[in-house]
């Protein structure tokens, strides 16, 4: 894979998990990285890890449900580094685990606002900036295997992640000739704090059950997703747009 030297990346939800690992991977490949999250301590820790390894990064607190904040994210990246080459729209929440008939309306709106509206709020200024600069850019959205199939008791999350793929494909069509590529990754169950907080990785029986849903009979790692994101941003993927790239250990093969 080629170097990202002299490029700029912005990663939402990069205070932990997949976002942190991807931000670090961008920096390791030579990109300057704008780390963003609502978790200030986590975001600053990500920056510290990048800087300790000799990379360039800065942190900005961003709530992706606020379109003014996502516009500021792009403005800060351009003011600090002159451009925005890559954007990984990763921020997300899990939401309630309950059937549709019992799903609280406020919980539903929260999941849709972060996981779907938040991606739209990011894409709008990111793509607008990339359209104006030489070389265009690449947007990668974090969807999920649950953006392609259903999953009991997760209607808010499933609906939002399906919507992310619709946004991704639509923006890819709109930008086929602008120099901006738009793709999504669809991770399976990945070993992250989000899974731990949901009790999946801390409950041995539940963990075994979830692992067994994947053909590889294991959970994925944040690094495996980060590598896929960076490949989609690389020139090696120059003819790839509108793609929903599974990083899911065979989950969707069943």
Any idea which residues carry the catalytic annotation? Answer: 157
Q: What's the rounded Cα separation, in Å, for the pair 28 and 158?
A: 32
Backbone angles phi, psi at 67, to 5 degrees: -60, -25
Query: φ, ψ for residue 168 (rounded to 5)?
Result: -60, -50
Give the closest residue to 83 by CA, choosing from 27, 4, 8. 8
Nearest C-alpha neighbor of 120 from the set 40, 68, 65, 162: 65
Q: Which tokens sit at 223? A: 């690094």
Backbone angles phi, psi at 247, to 5 degrees: -130, 75
Q: For residues 209 and 189, what is the distance between their CA atoms, to the nearest angstrom?
A: 11
Where on the phi/psi map is residue 35: left (φ > 0), alpha (ψ -120 to 50), or beta? Answer: beta
Is residue 66 within 8 Å of 121, Cβ to Cβ?
yes
Instruction: Name residues whose C-beta falls within 8 Å of residue 106's C-beta, 6 or more positions apart in sequence.
Output: none
Count CA within 13 A, CB hemisphere, residue 90.
30
120 — phi, psi (to 5°)?
-60, -45
């Amino acid at each position: 894979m080629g170097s990202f030297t002299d490029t700029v990346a912005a990663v939402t939800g990069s205070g932990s998990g997949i976002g942190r690992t991807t931000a670090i991977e961008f920096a390791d490949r030579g990109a300057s990285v704008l780390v963003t999250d609502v978790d200030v301590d986590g975001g600053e820790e990500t920056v510290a890890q990048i800087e300790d390894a000799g990379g360039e990064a800065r942190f900005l607190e961003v709530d992706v449900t606020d379109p003014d904040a996502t516009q500021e994210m792009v403005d800060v990246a351009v003011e600090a580094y002159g451009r925005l080459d890559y954007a990984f729209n990763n921020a997300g929440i899990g939401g309630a685990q309950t059937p549709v008939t019992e799903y609280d309306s406020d919980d539903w709106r929260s999941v849709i606002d972060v996981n779907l509206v938040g991606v739209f709020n990011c894409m709008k200024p990111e793509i607008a900036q990339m359209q104006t600069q030489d070389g265009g850019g690449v947007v990668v959205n974090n969807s999920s295997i649950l953006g392609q199939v259903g999953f009991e008791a997760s209607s808010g999350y499933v609906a939002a992640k399906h919507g992310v793929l619709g946004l991704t494909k639509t923006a890819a069509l709109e930008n086929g000739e602008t120099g901006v590529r738009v793709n999504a990754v669809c991770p399976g169950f990945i070993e992250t704090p989000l899974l731990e907080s949901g009790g999946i990785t801390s409950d041995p029986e539940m963990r075994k059950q979830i692992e067994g849903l994947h053909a590889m009979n294991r959970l994925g790692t944040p690094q495996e997703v980060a590598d896929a994101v960076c490949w989609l941003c690389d020139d090696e993927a120059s003819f790839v747009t509108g793609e929903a790239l599974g990083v899911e250990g065979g989950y969707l093969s069943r």
